[in-house]
Structure 1
Amino acid sequence: MNQKQYIRLSIVLAVPALIASFWLAQQDFIFNRGQLVSCSMSDDECYYEQMSLNDLEEVSSSLNLIQYNRHSPEVFVGIYDLNFPMRIYFYERYGDKKVDVTNLVDSKMLETKSCSLTGEILNCKEPIFSWTSSFGEIEFINRDEQQQYIDRIGEAQSHLKDYFLIRAAIGLGIFLLIAASYLIFSWLVHFIIYGARIDSKQPPPYQ
């Protein structure tokens, strides 16, 4: 193999190696992708933990929390102590009329029934009542409590971290490790074929 062939082979192998490296960096067994945040709506208490996706699913399903903005399997933002003065509505099971269930449902029940909130839109895993659907909404009685709710949600989401740069660095590190292994393997082949002697007449590892 001459020098040009060796360089072309290296380039051809580098492309899939680079793709594989950054793919590996996104995998949960390389770097934990799950993020759990739980925050109280009545005080400034918040808890954050990074974990594997399997652990996140297991832990989140065992907690009595209202999940906020259920949009990604990698993130669980849970809230509790949603004790603001508010009204709770669910839509009729077979219709679009809202039913006021404030006297029948409180925030503790929403926590135990695996419900989620997106803004003020309510969605429970299963209908709480046989005559309502699992979809509804909450309505704050006072604007001050509504703003406090918005602020608390913003604080909870601020604990989430963007690990893109870390994953990119891990991917680059994996690629460099693969490249170093490739070069070492090339020189080992050269050593086996030509021995350890190095002089001006000895061909490079790609010949």
Structure 2
Amino acid sequence: MAFGKKKDKFSVLLCDISENIKEAATFFYDFQIKTASDIKIFSDKVKEHEAKGDTLVHTVIKELNHAFITPIEREDILLLTLTLDDVIDGLEETTALFDMYSIIHPTEHMKSFVSHIKNCAFEIHTCIELLSERKLADIHLHAIKIKEYESNCDHLLRIAIKELFATEKDPIKIIQFKEVYESLEEIADYCQSVATALETVVMKNA
């Protein structure tokens, strides 16, 4: 059974979750860190998005437990919900690292990671909207774009770590920056998992 023309409660909730991810990723990309106090504001704001995401996830699970009929298979709704939640969790965990390590001046590589992640977030939201509108055939191209951005992040991680070890003399900073780079790349991996989950749903409901 596929999504109908009118958005049901599950497609509305999934759209809300993906919109929250898009807003958090946009904030992450746009926010300018200039002082130590800015980092706290930055981290707290993304934490708010993460908390909102948790609330939405709990609502989906509650509704699944009470629903007699679902628009697509229950396990697919749950899979999409949990993979989406991984993305917002990853964003929150990374901003917590910025706060913990007092990273006031993000590197150009960090900025590139976040740019790719923001693009992934926009593509994810588009996919979820298309799913809710039952435009399953249109999802594939956007899923491919997400995977391309993730591949770019894989390549960027290798470049960033190579440059870090070649240019940074402070071993503490090497440890800290390497962890941030890896955390950012992990968010891209989570985005790819969402794309894979979406393609699975499309294949089962096309």
Q: TM-score, normalised by structure 2?
A: 0.23
Higher relative contact order (CA 8 A, sep 6+): 2
Q: Decide which structure has greater strand share.
A: 1
Q: TM-score, normalised by structure 1?
A: 0.23
Q: Decide which structure has greater helix share.
A: 2
